[in-house]
Structure 1
Amino acid sequence: MEKENQIFGIRAIIEAINAKKEVDKVFIQKDAHGDLMSELMKTMKKNNINFSYVPVEKLNKLTHNNHQGVVATIAPISFHTLENLVESLLEKEKKPLLLILDQLSDARNFGAIIRTAECTGVDGIIIQKQGSAPVNGDTVKTSAGAVFNIPICKVDHIKDAVFYLQGSGIKTVAATEKTDNNIYDINFNEPVAIIMGSEDRGVNPSVLKIIDEKAKLPMYGTIESLNVSVACGAFLYEAVRQRL
């Protein structure tokens, strides 16, 4: 983690959140407590800040300074609002191609997906505030800088984003093995948002219930799953092929 992209110390992080800095994720020592820590928790919950509990060794690795049991990462980018992004795309009379990442948690996978998304003309990436991979140095590096060229939106809940997109005339397609539909039978040559799930669980079942279509990649090996960034690339390039 780049040192200029982190803040440490409870009071400093509270101030950064209140000042509306792009605080991407807060790492908290597992057994941390006290009045100031309670205030931090209240501030994070009020502002929907992504946080996780970690062993003190992780914090010591992140910074050699007196971290007081908390280290926060500051995103190197500004996030977009979903409403503004969709409105601007529809005004341009484009056929939007959007990508929704349902709680993808690995920063390197995230970076690799951003890189492919930029190469395939994706108009924006939608992630959930809680439980998603941070936008940090690893993300920037594995995206080869593409993270600076593609709008990223943070939403409170993926389901709300799906409903909003559907209401805006954008079809939602989930990548999942829980279907008989083949990716090559889906029409991507229209306004569409492709949903990729987390590395271990896939797309959330509650999201699968509300999307328009499900699609899977044909698999011929004995290992019945692909790395999520590879699967995402296959979906995006099928969309490109159809739109050529």
Structure 2
Amino acid sequence: MKQERREHSKQASGKGKPNTYANRSPKPVRSLPLLIGRKPVMEALEQGTTIEKLFLLRTATGPEINSIKQLAKERNIPISQVPVEKLDSFTKAQHQGVVAWTSLLQYVELQDAISHVVDKGETPLFMLLDGVTDVRNVGAIARTALCCGAQGLILPTSHAASLTEEAIKTSAGALHKIMLCRIPSVQQAMDVLRLNGIQILGTEMRGSVPVYESNLKVPSAIVMGAEDTGISKEVLKRADQLIRIPMATNFDSLNVSVAAGMIMYEALRQRTLDV
């Protein structure tokens, strides 16, 4: 579903803002606890420390860098290759081209999350985020998802918001209570969901089925798209059904977290309140 175009989306695309760091002084970044340097990051990866995101200098090379990349890939940790100014904005310490954000949260494998839900005798309900990059939207979606009975939130490693303190605060702690699944891509998540008999519902303004006519009593995963562009074309093609939220006017500006809340409440209504 095409969502509200937010001001930050214009900044992300480079409009009205320089595309390089050359003309700006590095500013402190409020984020997550840091791991700084090649050896500390390598040791953390080998020990299984939960890492939210890895930042590598674009020009960094060598066996250690290759090993770090490989371990991060195996653990579905997002990697961002950045200029030195970005790394310098995180720390004044000698970073050797490597900085990692350690996570305040824990992640579970998607298959393990599905199995856990089924073993408890519950009907799976997952939220799959495709390109949602605003931490406040992710936090708000997690909060509503938990309240409406969804068991898990699925996040791809690319084009996704990092779960920072702000996301946790916006979620009112829900991000600590709902299962979080990180997976390389939305397409891979869809493959795992479908293999487990979970229908995939894409949300789209021109979806053929009003949300109240969709069957949300069965195992379901609801895909919510990016704040500015909605769900990607490939995901739209592969979804089992495209649903929409009927609106009284042609004003197509539902915020993604608001739209997610409306759909999840319909799932709650069908599963527990509909008689």
For the aligned pair, the TM-score class normalised by the smaller chain equals 0.7 to 0.9
Instruction: Quote the residue 2:4 is aligned against.
Output: none
- The 8 Å contact of residues 140 and 171 in structure 2, kept in 1 or not, is answered as yes
Letter in 1 for 2:60: H
With CA pairs under 8 Å and 6+ residues apart, which has the higher RCO, 1 or 2? 2
Moved more, 165-174 or 56-65: 56-65
User: SS of the residue aligned with 2:209?
Assistant: coil
Alignment root-mean-square deviation, CA: 2.4
Letter in 2 for 1:233: G
Report matched runs for 1:95-244 at 5 Å. 95-221=123-249, 223-243=251-271, 244=273
Kindly tell me the number of residue pairs found equivalent between the two proteins: 243
Task: Provide the C-alpha distance between the structure 2 equivalents of 1:132 and 1:70, rounded to a whole number of angstroms.
Answer: 20
Query: Cα–Cα, structure 1 residues 167 and 48, in superposed 2: closer, same or farther, change >3 Å?
Result: closer
Report matched runs for 1:51-130 at 5 Å. 51-130=79-158
User: What is the Cα deviation at residue 39 of structure 1?
Assistant: 5.1
User: SS of the residue aligned with 1:88?
Assistant: helix
Task: Provide the C-alpha distance between the structure 2 equivalents of 1:165 and 1:46, rounded to a whole number of angstroms.
Answer: 20
User: SS of the residue aligned with 1:173?
Assistant: strand
Fraction of identical pairs, as percent: 35
Tell me the TM-score normalized by structure 2: 0.78
Instruction: Quote the residue 1:5 is aligned against.
Output: 33
Task: Provide the C-alpha distance between the structure 2 equivalents of 1:174 and 1:88, rounded to a whole number of angstroms.
Answer: 24
Tell me the TM-score normalized by structure 1: 0.87
User: What is the Cα deviation at residue 163 of structure 1?
Assistant: 2.7
Instruction: Quote the residue 1:27 is aligned against.
Output: 55
- The 8 Å contact of residues 125 and 151 in structure 2, kept in 1 or not, is answered as yes
User: What is the Cα deviation at residue 220 of structure 1?
Assistant: 4.0
Task: Provide the C-alpha distance between the structure 1 equivalents of 2:189 and 2:167, rounded to a whole number of angstroms.
Answer: 23
User: SS of the residue aligned with 2:161?
Assistant: coil
User: What is the Cα deviation at residue 128 of structure 1?
Assistant: 1.4
Query: Cα–Cα, structure 1 residues 188 and 60, in superposed 2: closer, same or farther, change >3 Å?
Result: same
Instruction: Quote the residue 2:10 is aligned against.
Output: none
Task: Provide the C-alpha distance between the structure 2 equivalents of 1:77 and 1:97, rounded to a whole number of angstroms.
Answer: 21
Q: Deviations over 1:38-75 (max 9, x none)?
A: 55445444544312244545434433433344321111
Unmatched runs of 5 consecutive residues or more in structure 2? 1-28
User: What is the Cα deviation at residue 204 of structure 1?
Assistant: 2.1
